Amino acid sequence: MSNVLIVGGGASGLAAGIFAARGGHKVTIIEHKDKIGKKILATGNGKCNYTNLVQLPECYRSNDSTFPMKVLSVFGVHETIDFFRQLGIYPKERDGYVYPNSEQAASVVQVLEMELKRLKVNISLDVHVEHIQKVNNTFKLNTNKGDFTADKVILAAGGCASPNHGSDGSGYLLAKELGHKLVKPLPALVQLKSKEKYFKTLAGVRTEVYIQLFVNDRFAAEEKGELLIANYGVSGIPIFQLSRFAAKAINESKKVTLKIDFLPSLNWKETFDLITERMKINPKRTAEESMVGLFNNKLVFVMLKEAGIEPDLFCEKVNKKYITDLVNQIKEWKIPISETNSFEQAQVSAGGVNTAEITPTTMESKLVKGLYLTGELVDVDGTCGGYNLQWAWSTGAVAGMSL
Ligand SMILES: Cc1cc2nc3c(=O)[nH]c(=O)nc-3n(C[C@H](O)[C@H](O)[C@H](O)COP(=O)(O)OP(=O)(O)OC[C@H]3O[C@@H](n4cnc5c(N)ncnc54)[C@H](O)[C@@H]3O)c2cc1C
């Protein structure tokens, strides 16, 4: 049996620790924060959306799109639900999204801790791993609290999203030190920023929309859902889902534009008829007043201005050309995107250790025998909906079982 060191006490490191210890290995988890599982506590707005019953290749993104499913075929959603059920987490499912029935992310951390304790896994807190080398058959880890040695190492240090939860990007440096190459890490599941002045006025608006993302004026992706408008730009789940593509395009200095349909339940003609009808209700109402009750008032004002219509223009003066421009604005509002928000606000990192250097059925490095890489550190990111934690549990379990 091996002496195993796991760098990082996040989702993938904790899963790896349990499976390694169940296999009879002597396991120590090294964590530089004062507690394990800090990020898990923040997941799913404190409720922990720990997996999703719908598992399709498009739920995961990577330079090698076939890699994630190879890992998930070894340890996937059903194994994850069973694993947590045995530890005590009774699953609650909503539209495929799976949460603990307690609706407390803390329950997930608690059951992992209980199992690690039962298996006598050592946990070294407040220890920061600075360097790793492999000399002959032994790994040597330099930390702020002295040196550690191991037969095998699982690098589970996360990416660089949300660094206040511990993932400060140092895992990338450790992987590079051991010879691995990175696909450039970029923020994902993150808000998008725009320089348009009207965002100051629109801040706080929430509305159901259909959004298309264009890169260099070519359609790239689409989403539906609730848009949240902030003073810097746009947020909400559909924006998070599109953000990875936007981040990549911006990184390649490409033009990124969103086209938003603010009335997706009606087609263009139906919208035109609706607006025409509303303008006729009372010719002495202003254009702005005619839209009250259809859209949020802040949105109405900016929508009219952007369509070139003065909000206080009487409805009797709003001709067919104005209505056409307004409908175009409602159905095809174009927003130029300047950048994403930073890693501080991002939920995950896209990019990471190149999957071509890892065996998917074991998560062992192809470059360094006895080194395993798991979780967000690897070039795989999931969409919103429990996929990033699923990736962490799957890779952690596969590495822990394969030692
Ligand atoms: C606000 C928020 C909400 C989210 N909600 C969800 C959700 O509901 N569902 C979902 O699927 N995903 C969610 N995610 C994403 C998900 O939490 C992560 O993808 C997942 O936790 C990554 O697990 P990991 O083990 O790879 O890395 P991490 O959880 O980041 O763990 C890495 C650990 O390594 C430690 N570490 C790093 N470097 C060192 C070092 N040099 N020495 C010692 N220790 C080190 C860190 O302190 C950390 O504890 C959310 C993320 C955020 C930020």
Structural domain spans, the chain: 3-185+353-402, 191-341
| Alpha carbon 352 to its chain's center | 14
* Distance between start and end Cα atoms, the chain: 9
Nearest CA to 399 out of 357, 367, 359 is that of 359
DSSP secondary structure string, 289-309?
Answer: HHTBTTB-HHHHHHHHHHTT-
Q: CA 57 to CA 54: how far, in whole Å?
A: 10
Cα-Cα-Cα-Cα dihedral of 245, 249, 250, 252, to 10°? Answer: 150
Q: What is the pLDDT of residue 57?
A: 97
Distance 377 CA to ligand 1 centre (A): 9
Q: CA 38 to CA 281: how far, in whole Å?
A: 56
Nearest CA to ligand 1 atom 47: 166
Are the C-beta atoms of residues 230 and 205 closer than 8 Å to each other? no
Q: CA 309 to CA 168: how far, in whole Å?
A: 49
Cα-Cα-Cα-Cα dihedral of 158, 159, 162, 167, to 10°? Answer: 50
> pLDDT confidence of 335, banded at 50, 70, 90?
very high
Question: What residues does 99 pair with on adjacent strands?
Answer: 92
Q: Among the atoms of ligand 1, which is closest to the Cα of residue 36?
A: 49
> pLDDT confidence of 20, banded at 50, 70, 90?
very high
Averaged pLDDT for residues 200-208? 98
Q: CATH assignment of 3-185+353-402?
A: 3.50.50.60
- Could you tell which of 28, 39, 391 is best to mutate to test the pocket of ligand 1, judged by most ligand atoms within 8 Å of the CB? 39
Nearest CA to ligand 1 atom 20: 389
Averaged pLDDT for residues 26-54? 98
Are the C-beta atoms of residues 372 and 201 closer than 8 Å to each other? no
Nearest CA to ligand 1 atom 9: 386
Q: What is the pLDDT of residue 360?
A: 98
Provide, rounded to the nearest whole percent, the portion of the chain with pLDDT above 70: 100
Q: Among the atoms of ligand 1, which is closest to the Cα of residue 10?
A: 31
> pLDDT confidence of 83, banded at 50, 70, 90?
very high
Q: Among the atoms of ligand 1, which is closest to the Cα of residue 382?
A: 11
Q: CA 146 to CA 273: how far, in whole Å?
A: 73
Q: Which residues line ligand 1 (CB under 6 A)?
A: 7-13, 30-33, 38-39, 42-44, 49, 128-129, 156-158, 161-162, 166-168, 170-171, 347-348, 375-377, 386-389, 392
pTM comes to 0.96
Distance 11 CA to ligand 1 centre (A): 6
Largest CA distance in the chain: 87
- Could you tell which of 34, 43, 98, 130 is best to mutate to test the pocket of ligand 1, judged by most ligand atoms within 8 Å of the CB? 43
Residue with tokens 């629109």: 202
Averaged pLDDT for residues 177-192? 98
Averaged pLDDT for residues 341-361? 98
Averaged pLDDT for residues 294-314? 97
Averaged pLDDT for residues 271-295? 96
Are the C-beta atoms of residues 371 and 141 closer than 8 Å to each other? no
What separation in angstroms does the CA of 382 have from each of 39, 121, 272, 279? 16, 29, 39, 45
Averaged pLDDT for residues 54-78? 97
Residue with tokens 């998070």: 240
Q: Among the atoms of ligand 1, which is closest to the Cα of residue 9?
A: 49
Nearest CA to ligand 1 atom 10: 386
Distance 376 CA to ligand 1 centre (A): 7
Distance 40 CA to ligand 1 centre (A): 7
Helices and strands (DSSP H and E) totals, the chain: 13, 24
Report phi then psi at 234, rounded to 5. -125, 150
Q: CA 155 to CA 6: how far, in whole Å?
A: 6
Residue with tokens 């939860």: 165
Rg (CA), the chain: 25
> pLDDT confidence of 347, banded at 50, 70, 90?
very high
Which pair of structure tokens corresponds to residue 33? 């924060």
